[in-house]
Amino acid sequence: MKSSDFVRQLPGGEAHFSRPRTLASILHIDVPLFTLLLILVLGGLFVLYSGSEKSMSDVARQGIHFAVASTLMLILARFDPQVFRRWAPWVFFLGLAGLVAVLAVGSDAKGAQRWLKIPGVGVRVQPSEFMKLAVPMMVAWYLSDRILPPSFKHIIGALIIIFVPAALIAKQPDLGTAILIAASGVFVLLFAGLGLRWILGCLAGVAALAPAMWFFVMHDYQKQRVLTFLDPESDPLRTGWNIIQSKTAIGSGGFGGKGWLEGTQSHLDFLPESHTDFIIAVLAEEFGYIGVACILTLYMMIIGRGLYIAANGQDTFSRLLAGSLIMTFFVYVFVNMGMVSGILPVVGVPLPLVSYGGTSVLTLMASFGILMSIHTHKKMLSR
Amino acid sequence: MASRELKDHFREQRIFFQRAIWAALGVIALSLALFARYYYLQISQHEVYKTLSDRNRMQLQSITPTRGLIYDRNGVLLADNQPTFSLTLVKERIKDLDATIGELQDLLEITEDDVESFRKRMGQRRRPYESVTLKSRLTEEEIARIAVNRHRLAGVEVEAELIRYYPLSDTLAHVLGYVGRISERELKQVDPANYSGTQYYGKLGVERHYESLLHGSVGYQTVETDARGRVLRVLDRVAPTPGADISLYLDVNLQRAAIEALDGRRGAVVAIEPSTGGILALVSTPSFDPNLFVTGIDSATYKALQDSPDIPLFNRALRGQYPPGSTIKPFLGLAGLDTEIINVNSRVWDPGWYQLKNDDRKYRDWKRSGHGWVDLNASIEQSCDVFFYDMAFRMGVDNMYAYMAKFGFGEQLVYDIDEAQDGILPSREWKRAARRLPWFPGDSLNMGIGQGFMLSTPMQLATATAVLANRGKWVRPRLIKTINESEVTDIESPPDVTLKQEWYWNYVIKAMEGVMHGRHGTARSSGKDASYKMAGKTGTAQVIGIKQNAVYDAEAIAERHRDHALFVGFAPVDNPKIAVAVLVENGGGGSGAAAPVARKMFDAHLVGPELEPGQMQAASP
């Protein structure tokens, strides 16, 4: 840590010339992270081909999603982290306006209002997805200027920044995303040094609020999910069906799996959403415990690299943002793999970079772009 | 920025490092939990799940609940379930779907309509191994043909199914509505699990409104099947909860009497029991056979129904909006008395026309020669227009609007019918919004005799008449009487209509009695020789023209330009048991065409079988 302080004081140019200009440095790519992501994405496409019942068009479309998202990643990686810091409030309030607009005029998809049609252009945007980046950026922006660990006043300030958008999203209703966003904001606070007493206090608060949520906030279908989670066999036709079938798929995979494209659960239509939220069950059925262990290890390596990048961040804003982004990524992994295997309730969180779907891929790759920007612009700051 | 100067970068970084290490530990701990969970499922419990998965033959099947039955007030069955046999296919067990359908088409008569709707349903969300109907209502011979060829038709089954049947056919189509094949859009509105085996959905009327009640909840069973998919044994079964049986206030005999009285003319009759608000009869003629719609109507029959100039699919009683004509005079009379614009001694000279100051236009009375001096009583009894022109002019639209609204005009108030229309109760605001014009005094005059902008449905007229018969006590019209034999109560009604003087009610009702029994009463021919006293009001509505796109012969066109005949009334006067509204499209005058229908309804309800024992007995099932 001290050494980095010294680096910052070195005369300009020296750090810059200390390394040869490779393709990676020109593109502002973090090679280890990029390699790990590439393995995950390519492996994911194989599983997707099986999970989507050998639909080449789904795989191709997902490939396009990745291409677009990678481009965004490379673009974001080029920006100096200070740019994100300057933009943070603008991005945040733009997203907040979007959320309010969604509740006011949003178009209806699957009974919930999540999308906003931009008139004239014909493009639909999902402000809640946008907020997955905007909220941690805003909280990091807010705290990075203050003395850390944050004072009581600033903790309250940060909590307001977190819970206003989270509440708006929960109202859409999209509890899964609201939880992810609240988590991303809370991670910034935790990395900023939120006191142990606060952490315990919040946990107690959540525990106390849970019954109130149950009676006043949660929709019937959400309650049903929790009840089903507690006892899937009680409701075998509804949400319990998904859990029972996905557990059967996972369990029947055994140690070595049934082999690629050989999964009977998914191919006989027993497994619902086999190419989106429940794709890990396809992987577990066809590649067995080995497959699960591989992908989980891969995720851990990505997260490890992300934490390393965060720890080496040049300034407080970068560190807080990077730490939050990578921990949110872990929450995705944990919640998805937990819900599919029946240790968490079903909340509609995709398996990052493997589940089919363009929006989450875009958000996740954007966050990796920010991580790469934080890592690759370190030395140049000193110029 | 003081805070910036006080920032301790070293301390911040140390804290962050600590936290990052905690985060890494947390990630490792939770990941280990996932490793452990998948280890448990895939290694420890592998055998259990392998068995479950290997035997995909363990299937979960949903059991459709039986739909609730619908009865009339006397227990006559109005909607039944009939067992029939259907030809179903299970996609998973069929190698080549098109070939199988082709083969079946060689064996039985399967229309393109059938195949098309089959494919549509095939595209909808379904569970694996769920069968989809290709053809309903198989005949004995067809079942036999399938049985003979069964060995080469894997995945083809003949399944017993309960299908809705309306024994009274077109008598009640407009009230009961009907069920039909559930559509993709409707599937999205319901709990998909509860409807996982259900193919039918209430489309209109009672069937639509009480869909969730009549449907019941789904059951399921776990079955073991052989490799071909035939069920070997049932392992576990949770029985479905059948839909609730409901009975309605409707009286089939009264319903039949109304249809008979309308005698093939286009029209509507609504009868309400004033003490309960129960709808005794709800008739719209011509009607149609709802049974045609249940398993899917063929396009030619449907086209014929839709293109018929008599529009049999149109529910005139609930959705037909007509100028109420003179039938609103009793209500306006009450408004005049209560606002003290007039009193019972007010008299007006009727020369056969009425004129506003500074206006050349003559507002005519239906009686060219005029009625001479008239008071409110005479004006209701003889339906004098000039008295009401004068009163409407002096009362103004705001008062008329307020009082008519109290009786439910301009609003859909039926408790359990979704498709009824609102009608139009005009006001200054309404006209400004709808016509972008201010309210003119002439508009008030037109409104005073139920013409002009005002439109109401026969249902609204019957409702308002029931409230009048009750002397202001509101009862919300409704069909439902009992659910599973327990009475339905607690139906909220609008606030009662209260007048400054209670005797105003009796005054106006007395005048309506005069319509039926008075020497000059407009409906005296319908009121004579009755063993009870009735109150009524005739009305005639000018035809503004209903939407018609077919070509008619001259006689038909002339007929369709004739006035609509209207009548509202109730009986007996002192203890009202029935309130009715009658509309006969292009029937001419209310007294000639509509009042006799009401009289027959009164007789059927109050005197009943004693009047024509043979006929009524034959009519009851």
| Secondary structure in 3-state letters for B160-225 | EEEEEECCCHHHCHHHHCCEEECCHHHHHHCCCCCCCCCCEEECCHHHHHCHHHHHEECEEEEEEE
Cβ neighbours, 10 Å, residue B124: 11
What is the model's pLDDT at position B536? 95
Contact B42 A253 (CB under 8 A): yes
Query: Distance between CA A350 and CA A370 in Å, rounded?
Result: 21
- Whether residue A380 is predicted with pLDDT greater than 70 in this model: the reply is no
Selecting from B11, B20, B38 the residue whose C-beta is nearest the C-beta of A323 gives: B20
Cβ neighbours, 10 Å, residue A72: 17
- Whether residue A196 is predicted with pLDDT greater than 80 in this model: the reply is no
Query: Distance between CA A245 and CA A267 in Å, rounded?
Result: 12
Contact B38 A284 (CB under 8 A): yes
Task: Determine contact, residues A159/A202, Cβ cutoff 8 Å.
Answer: no
Contact B24 A307 (CB under 8 A): yes
Residues in A touching B39 (Cβ below 8 Å): 289
Question: Of the candidates A255, A247, A285, which has an alpha carbon nearest to the alpha carbon of residue A267?
Answer: A285
Task: Determine contact, residues B361/B355, Cβ cutoff 8 Å.
Answer: yes
Q: What is the DSSP string of B450-513?
A: T-TT-BB-HHHHHHHHHHHHTTT-----B-EEEETTEE------PPPP--SSTHHHHHHHHHHH
Token reading at B328:
């609103």
DSSP state of A262: -
The strand pairing partners of B224, in sequence order, are: B58, B233
Query: Distance between CA B352 and CA B77 in Å, rounded?
Result: 53
Label residue A383 exposed, middle or buried (CB < 10 Å: 0-12, 13-18, 19+).
exposed
Query: Distance between CA A300 and CA B32 in Å, rounded?
Result: 11
Q: Which of B107-110's residues contact partners 24+ apart within 8 Å by CB, and which partners?
A: B107/B145, B107/B146, B107/B149, B108/B135, B108/B138, B108/B142, B108/B145, B108/B146, B110/B134, B110/B135
Which residues in chain B show pLDDT less than 50?
Answer: 1-4, 227, 545-553, 610-621
Q: How far is B296 from chain A (nearest CA, A)?
A: 28
Query: Distance between CA B4 and CA A285 in Å, rounded?
Result: 55
Question: Is B527 or A382 the better-scoring residue by pLDDT?
Answer: B527
Residues in A touching B17 (Cβ below 8 Å): 1, 311
Cα of A179 vs its chain's centroid, Å: 11
What is the model's pLDDT at position A245? 83
Query: Distance between CA B445 and CA B378 in Å, rounded?
Result: 19
Selecting from A5, A187, A337 the residue whose C-beta is nearest the C-beta of B34 gives: A337
Contact B50 A193 (CB under 8 A): no
Residues in B touching A320 (Cβ below 8 Å): 16
Query: Distance between CA A118 and CA A122 in Å, rounded?
Result: 6
pTM for the structure as a whole: 0.63
Catalytic annotation, residues of B: 326
Question: Of the candidates B562, B585, B337, B326, which has an alpha carbon nearest to the alpha carbon of residue B461?
Answer: B326
Query: Distance between CA B271 and CA B458 in Å, rounded?
Result: 10
The tens digit of pLDDT for each residue in A4-22 reads 444 444 444 444 445 567 8
Contact A270 B128 (CB under 8 A): yes
Q: How far is B128 from chain A (nearest CA, A)?
A: 6
The strand pairing partners of B604, in sequence order, are: none
What is the model's pLDDT at position B580? 96
Band of residue A123 on the pLDDT scale cut at 50, 70, 90? low
Whole-number Cα distances in Å, A277 to A3, A49, A52, A268: 44, 15, 12, 17
Q: What is the DSSP string of B51-65?
A: HHHH-TTEEEEEEPP
B30 close contact with A: CB closer than 8 A: yes
Mean pLDDT within A143-150? 84
Query: Distance between CA B400 and CA B388 in Å, rounded?
Result: 12
Band of residue A382 on the pLDDT scale cut at 50, 70, 90? very low
- Whether residue A266 is predicted with pLDDT greater than 80 in this model: the reply is no
Roughly what angle, to the nearest 10 degrees, separates helices A175-191 and A152-170? Answer: 160
Task: Determine contact, residues A96/A169, Cβ cutoff 8 Å.
Answer: no
Helices (H) and strands (E) in chain A, counts: 16, 3
Selecting from B16, B42, B220 the residue whose C-beta is nearest the C-beta of A288 gives: B42
Task: Determine contact, residues B491/B415, Cβ cutoff 8 Å.
Answer: yes
Contact B37 A338 (CB under 8 A): yes
Mean pLDDT within A152-169? 90
Highest mean pLDDT out of A263-267, A355-359, B69-73, B100-104 = B69-73
Torsion sign across C-alpha atoms A52, A53, A54, A58: negative
Query: Distance between CA A113 and CA A127 in Å, rounded?
Result: 11
What is the model's pLDDT at position B614? 44
Contact B46 A251 (CB under 8 A): yes
Query: Distance between CA B482 and CA B468 in Å, rounded?
Result: 26
- Whether residue A338 is predicted with pLDDT greater than 80 in this model: the reply is yes
Question: Of the candidates B311, B334, B455, which has an alpha carbon nearest to the alpha carbon of residue B388?
Answer: B334
- Whether residue A124 is predicted with pLDDT greater than 90 in this model: the reply is no
B56 close contact with A: CB closer than 8 A: yes
B542-554: burial string, b at 16+ Cβ within 10 Å, e else: eeeeeeeeeeeee
B326 close contact with A: CB closer than 8 A: no
Band of residue A329 on the pLDDT scale cut at 50, 70, 90? very high
Question: Of the candidates A79, A70, A78, A61, which has an alpha carbon nearest to the alpha carbon of residue A40?
Answer: A70
B8 close contact with A: CB closer than 8 A: yes
Whole-number Cα distances in Å, B502 to B334, B337, B512: 11, 11, 17
What is the model's pLDDT at position B548? 40
Selecting from A145, A146, A268 the residue whose C-beta is nearest the C-beta of B56 gives: A268
Question: Of the candidates A288, A315, A287, A317, which has an alpha carbon nearest to the alpha carbon of residue A87?
Answer: A317
Contact B50 A251 (CB under 8 A): yes
